[in-house]
Structure formats: C-alpha cells, structure tokens
Structure 1
C-alpha cells in the first residue's frame, strides 16, 4: 500500500467519507494539493497509531477552533469527531476549554459551529439545569419536557444526574422529567456528612417540594433505588409510581469494605472494581462515552463523599416495608448484572405485591449507560401519559 492508498484509507476512517468525493473540488483545483492532503498528511503523520482517531479529532477541533477563520474545516472535523465516537457533550466542553487558552471570541465562534453541526446531526441541545436548595445543601436539577406527569430520576452511587441523559429525551415526550445530583455527588459534592439513608430519602422529598411537585413518578437505579425505596416507605403519598432498576432492598456485606477502600486506597483504586461491576467486557473494550463518563466520575470523586454514601447504604432498611405500597411498582433487572442479579431483583418484586417484574437482555448493572434504549422503552411503557 503506497502513501496515497494509505492516506485514502485513513481519510475515510477519520472523516467518514471517501476523499475522492469529499475533496473532489480540491482535486479539480489542484491535483498536487489533493495529493499533499491525502498522501502527505493523511498518509503520513495522521496515519500513525500513537494517537487514536478520536484523540486526533479532539486535537484537530481544538486547533481549528483556536486558529479562527477555519470554520468550514472546524465543521468537517466536528463531524469527524462524532464519527469517531466523541460525544456531543465532550465537544461542547472542548469549546469551554478553548475559552481558557484562546479567549472567548474564538471559543464562542467554535461553539456556534459545533452547535450547528450537532443540530444538523439531530442532537438535542444540552439539558437545562437549575440550582436548588435541598435541606442542608445545594444541588442541581436537570429538566426535559415542559408539561405532563412529573418523573424524578435518582442516580447511582459515584455518578451524577448525567447517567440518565440518554433516556431523558424519550421519557420527556408528554412528561416532565427531572434528574438531580444526590447528596455528596456532582454539584452536591461536599455536602454535610455523615448521613443516613433516611437523610437521602428526605432529600428526595425536599427535591419534590423545591420543584413544586405534590406527587411524582420516581425512578431509582442502584443506590438511587435504595433512596427511592426509603422515601417511598416514609412518604408513600408522594409517589404516583415507583420504578426500581438494578438495586437492592437490603445492604450487602461488601458496602463497608468499599467505603474503607475509598478512604485508604483513594479513588483511582475504585475504577477497576467499579467499572468491571457496572459494564460488560464488550462495553469496556469499546470505551464509549458512557464508560469514559463513569471512569471520570469515579476518579474525580471525593473519598469522604464516597465513603459516606457507602456507609449510609449500610443502613438501608426497606425490605418487606413496601408490602402495602399503594402505587404501581416496576422492578427492572438486567440479565448480565453481576451486582444486583435477577435473583436479587425478582426477590424485591416478590416482596411487593402487584409489582411488575421485567428483565432486560444482555444488560449489566449500569442499565442506562449501556442499554439506554431498552431502559427508555421499558419506562415509557410503564409510565403513564
């Protein structure tokens, strides 16, 4: 394979289109320039494997944004970044990053181009956020949808509201969908601790109050499911329904060791045991946005917040206490979940008379991150309009 053939191959892989079509006008104007671009650049330095294709496109978007006056090329490489698995949220964050090093004029121009490409690709604009006070701390709430029944989403330990982002848009068709950062996580990092599951459940009720919701459909995943159950036991009158995803109704023996490991070994040591519990090997191998997001959230976590959350989880006390729960309940298990297995999840359903039990095929613990379409479909079917 000569440099021109290699360059054509690499161009198609990076840009997502064959160069003879994408650069046809360049070839007509100057065959030499066409060869310099395809054989010289894409068949040369850009074909080297030391930098992955996604990393190259992130770098190229940053460089063209910083240069200014290269909006056409910036748009092309924004599309190429998406083609190579860079997430829309990462591209928007890149524009913010450029503002620090190249100034706001360049960053704002880049943001305009990136937004135009994302709109062209059918990507929804970022979820609006608002800051609220929840008892003894502040947090943020994301909202999709302006009318219809209210749905409140409660996230897993170690993550933040963004673990729901991939399902929020579909759920928001005919509904108002809210997701907030729980105590000690995301925008609520460093909130008062120690705390109990009763505190976390009271926080959920306080979120409903802050949003002006007398009642809501509440969905909790993993630790969020523990919080949702705790609040449902204390305040069943505030729930239109309850959906429990990949969770438990009793504490595991491992909770204290996970708390202690965060304190003693630090957050880097939590990455492997967490991600290998949360995702399938295939998802880890692909290393898509969901895995990158989860890894960063764990790495950036505060050991004190991490330990406080696990120790609160030890106090989970809901088993058998939802037997008289008056509203509909969905229990959603993943067949590939090694943490809260189908056996654990079906046990929860058996202890809540009338609960609907479903299994998602091939789905691991972090259901919304690896199989958002399956989760959104199951919740859409369960939640009324």
Structure 2
C-alpha cells in the first residue's frame, strides 16, 4: 500500500507538471506558420506547420502535447535559419484520432509520410520524450531520409526509464486527465472532441506497453546523434551511458577522433523543466546541426 501511494503521488505530480507545462507553453508562440495543412498518411490526415526557409528540420512533440505546447519558444529561433516542419502525431492537437493502435513504428511511418507529402528528401529530426522514441524508430526505419538526429529526454526501450517511471505508467487512469488544461487544449483544436476518452485510453495503453527498438538497431544508426538529458529527468543514466556507447561515444578522444555523436547532461533539470531551458537547448542544437 505504501508503494502504491508513492507511485500514485508520483503519477499525479507528473501529470500536474505536464498540464502546467502545456498551459504555460501555449502562450509561447510568437510567429505564425508560413504554411500548414494535413498530409494524407496511412489512412489518416496528419497536421503539420511550416516555418522559415533553409535546410529542413522536423520537430516531434511529447505525449499529450501540441506543436505550440512543446516547441513554442524554439520555433521562432530555429526558423530564422531553417525550414521548420512541426508535426502533430496521431490523435494529438489538430490530427485526428484513429482506431489504429499506437506503435513507435507506425508513428514513425506517419512522419515519413508527411515528409513524402511535402517532398522532403532528407531532414534533421528532433524529438522530445515520446517524440524522441518515435525519432529513434524513424532513424532505424528510414536511415536514408535522416541527416542528423536530436533526442531530448527520451529512450528507445522501456528500461531506459527509471523503474518508478515505468511503475507510474502502469497506474494511469482516464480520470487523472479530466478537468485539466490538457483537456481544454484538446477541445480547442481537436477535429472531433468526442474522441477524447478514446484518445486517453489509447495513450494509456501505449504507455503501459513495454517496448524495445533493439540495441543492435541503435548501434546501426549512421547519422550523427545528439542526446540531451536532464540530470534528474527520470531516465536511467546507466542505460543512457550504454546508449551513447552504442552510438560510438564514451571513448578516450585524446587518443582517437572525436565521435560524431554527442551527449549533453543538463544539471538541475527534470523531464519537464529541461524543455523550458530554451537558450541552453538552442545552443546545443545550433552547434550540433550547423
């Protein structure tokens, strides 16, 4: 009972922070997209927004979030020198709910479909949290379409999270999401607001399902990868070190060439607060993607 109490408190804290984060970030966007629309992909219409001009960079948001909620502070800066394509994944934001069960491979296929629709041969890809897991899957499935990969506070397998995070996923219930700013945001832009309960149940099932994209597949990623993590963001840092080693890092660079991939651990940051460090993340992105 004591452990269950702790787990439920952790879950409520995570949801509360995410709700506050979404509400806070919803006011962050200061520019309008130069283009937006729906790409017909895998039987659904996936919403996207385009900002700026230059080499394309694709942004994938975290669970329950929207383009504006996740990237509102970064898009104005990135779009000064890049063509930014921001996508809302299945059931999120303006993108319709589908009965098709969520999976990392299927969502990564949706991303490829949007790129095909927009005639983008290759791009840099940035994913946060759930979006980072999708970005890993995209890198595995479509190596020829990827220039560089940025993973922010995310994993390619369930064991990449600390045990208490995976335990919290198992206790999620639809009622935790009722009467929240998250629901308000959904009602404001979702193409069919009657699908809210279906969407939440689908996301809960997705979060509870263990996944593993495969160590060997990660090791085969040829594109340079930048991993950005908070020092206390819920990721198992031992597993993170193993991930970086799979990507060619964790070497003695004084005796051999510096690896193409990079690892950044930002101090005093949680899973949510990390995405609020706009200047820090932007600096890492600009240095890595230039």
TM category (shorter chain) comes to 0.7 to 0.9
| Residue 218 (structure 2) pairs with residue 325 (structure 1) | no
Determine which structure has the larger strand proportion and give its number: 2
Q: 2:169 is matched with which residue: 245, 258, 283?
A: 258
CA contact (8 A) 1:256 1:311 kept: no
Distance 2:25 2:147 in 1: 34
Determine which structure has the larger helix proportion and give its number: 1
- The equivalent of 1:284 in structure 2 is none
CA contact (8 A) 1:331 1:356 kept: yes
Give the drift of 1:158. Answer: 1.0
Distance 1:371 1:295 in 2: 25
Give the drift of 1:249. Answer: 1.6
Structure with larger RCO (C-alpha < 8 A, sep 6+)? 2
CA contact (8 A) 2:62 2:130 kept: yes
Distance 1:259 1:202 in 2: 26
| Residue 199 (structure 2) pairs with residue 305 (structure 1) | yes
Deviations 1:191-250 (A, max 9, x none): 233232211111111111112111110111111011111111111111001111100121
- Correspondence list, 1:17-96, <5 A: none
Give the drift of 1:340. Answer: 2.3
Distance 2:183 2:99 in 1: 25
Distance 1:134 1:233 in 2: 19
Distance 1:308 1:87 in 2: 25
Secondary structure of the residue that 1:152 maps to in structure 2? strand
Distance 2:25 2:137 in 1: 35
Give the drift of 1:90. Answer: 5.5
- The equivalent of 2:253 in structure 1 is none
Please say which of residues 152-161 and 366-375 is displaced more in the overlay: 366-375
- The equivalent of 1:203 in structure 2 is 110
Distance 2:184 2:275 in 1: 14
- The equivalent of 1:126 in structure 2 is 32
Give the drift of 1:89. Answer: 6.4
| Residue 280 (structure 2) pairs with residue 374 (structure 1) | yes
- The equivalent of 1:185 in structure 2 is 92
CA contact (8 A) 1:333 1:342 kept: no
Number of corresponding residues: 243
Distance 1:208 1:368 in 2: 28
The alignment yields a C-alpha RMSD, in angstroms, of 3.1
Distance 2:66 2:235 in 1: 20
Give the drift of 1:368. Answer: 6.2
Rate the CA distance shift 1:135–1:335 in 2: closer, same or farther, 3 A.
same
Rate the CA distance shift 1:368–1:152 in 2: closer, same or farther, 3 A.
farther
CA contact (8 A) 1:226 1:249 kept: yes
Rate the CA distance shift 1:357–1:183 in 2: closer, same or farther, 3 A.
same
CA contact (8 A) 2:52 2:81 kept: yes
| Residue 177 (structure 2) pairs with residue 267 (structure 1) | yes
| Residue 246 (structure 2) pairs with residue 348 (structure 1) | no
Please say which of residues 226-235 and 300-309 is displaced more in the overlay: 300-309
CA contact (8 A) 1:166 1:369 kept: no
Rate the CA distance shift 1:89–1:260 in 2: closer, same or farther, 3 A.
closer
| Residue 134 (structure 2) pairs with residue 227 (structure 1) | yes
Rate the CA distance shift 1:335–1:185 in 2: closer, same or farther, 3 A.
same
5+ long unaligned stretches in structure 1: 1-85, 92-122, 272-291
